[in-house]
Amino acid sequence: MADLATLPTPCLLLDEPRMTANIARIHGRLAGTGVSYRAHLKTAKSVEVARRQMAGPQGPAMVSTLKEAEIFADAGVADLTYGVGIAPDKLERVRALRARGVDLGMILDSVEQAEAVAAASTPDLPLAALIEIDADGHRSGVKPDDAGLLRAIAAALAPRAELRGVLTHAGESYFAKGQAALEAAAEGERLAVVGAAALLREAGHPCPVVSVGSTPTLMGATSVEGLTEFRAGVCVFFDLFQAGVGVCSPDEIALSVLTEVIGHQKDKGWTITDAGWMAMSRDRGTAAQAVDQGYGLVCDLAGRPIPDLVVVGANQEHGIVAQRAGAPYPAPDLPIGTRLRILPNHACATGAQYDRYEVVGPEGWRASWPRFSGW
């Protein structure tokens, strides 16, 4: 049987008790509000994780690629939203999924896309779309007060395709500093879709779904009035970036990379490991936060952070571990062969470097769960 002392390194560890607690926290945030949790599956890309994350075996769930939609459909998920503006060339795969009985919704933010969706809809197989709203200038979406464009899209969808509602993602909430800013980001996200829904309804377009979501806003929201669903994915695992935003502590991060010490450059205080950027990903999201975690925060084999020890540099298959400047204690002795766990900056990016999770519970390693990538 595998254990942390013998698993080949580097590999991706999933702390199941932490994940279970994170999932309970997500559902607890929405309990009693009447707002459903649409589990974003893009972070974990794992059927095993999805089954624990979703409210029920058929969903609801959110995906970031059609490959995710297809794999989760194979696993019985039937209520899915594809959360990237639909490209006309992808409509054939969308139709194939709907023909299998999967209620797959798409998002769009232009009349051109709405016309393509309407043209690809048939009486026996109408397609369904939500209008993406731009809550905060982060990337895509219709401005929430652009009644003309909202109604033109709705008109272009009707009557062949179904206008399912409105949806937004407050991506700028990742850069909120402090609780008040987090609450403001969540409120801005909510008001953007509630307002857009009102503009559509005033023009006679039903708008049953009013959807928001991001991990920071799920954790920061003070009101869910007018919303029907909340989406988020990173919060299943959390990561150092979210810890920097302030919505989790490092002790709640469920993912880590298991690595082994392979050398030292003692004159520089460096410990070299076999977890380079291929193992951690190139994500350096914490570089712009108050505490730069390098390529990851170093923990002992039990998952406890070693004070001020970070991955300060990374080559493809080499991690360079060193103490932060000014650390008030001696550097730990980490002989060749020492095994360490590294908490990642970004769960989505680090996860994507692996094809499986090594699941760890109170008794140690207990299972490998497959994980997929690609489109």
State the DSSP H helix or E strand holding residue 311, giving kind and residue range, or none if neither. Answer: strand 305-314
- Least distance from C-beta 88 to a copy of itself, angstroms? 5
Nearer to a copy of itself, 83 or 228 (CB): 83
How much is the CA Rg of the chain, to the nearest whole Å? 22
- Least distance from C-beta 260 to a copy of itself, angstroms? 5
Distances (CA, A) of 213 to 81, 241, 296, 360: 13, 17, 26, 29
Nearer to a copy of itself, 43 or 121 (CB): 43
- Least distance from C-beta 333 to a copy of itself, angstroms? 13
Is it true that the peptide bond before 60 is cis, omega within 30 degrees of 0?
yes
- Least distance from C-beta 374 to a copy of itself, angstroms? 6
Handedness of CA 217, 221, 224, 225 (dihedral sign): negative
Nearer to a copy of itself, 30 or 272 (CB): 272
Distances (CA, A) of 346 to 102, 113, 238, 240: 30, 31, 8, 7
- Least distance from C-beta 328 to a copy of itself, angstroms? 27
Number of helices (H), then strands (E), belonging to the chain: the values are 11, 17
- Least distance from C-beta 339 to a copy of itself, angstroms? 8
Alpha-carbon distance of 371 to 264, in angstroms, equals: 33
Nearer to a copy of itself, 38 or 346 (CB): 346
Nearer to a copy of itself, 117 or 193 (CB): 117
Nearer to a copy of itself, 35 or 233 (CB): 233
Given the rule CB under 8 A, which residues bind a copy of itself?
6, 8-11, 42, 64-65, 83-90, 93, 108-110, 112-113, 116, 134, 137-140, 171, 260-265, 268, 270, 272, 274, 277-279, 281-284, 313, 315-318, 320, 335-337, 346, 348-349, 352-355, 373-375
Nearer to a copy of itself, 145 or 355 (CB): 355
Nearer to a copy of itself, 30 or 334 (CB): 334
- Least distance from C-beta 141 to a copy of itself, angstroms? 8
32: CB partners within 8 A, 6+ apart: none
User: For the purposes of burial, counting CB atoms within 10 Å of the CB of 164, is it exposed (0-12), middle (13-18) or buried (19 or more)?
Assistant: buried
Alpha-carbon distance of 342 to 129, in angstroms, equals: 40
Residue whose C-alpha is closest to residue 11's, from 235, 274, 314, 225: 274
What b/e sequence results for 96-122 when a residue is b if at least 16 CB atoms lie within 10 Å of its CB, and e otherwise?
ebbeeebbbbbbbbbeebbbbbbebbe
- Least distance from C-beta 272 to a copy of itself, angstroms? 5
What b/e sequence results for 290-299 when a residue is b if at least 16 CB atoms lie within 10 Å of its CB, and e otherwise?
eebbbbbbbb
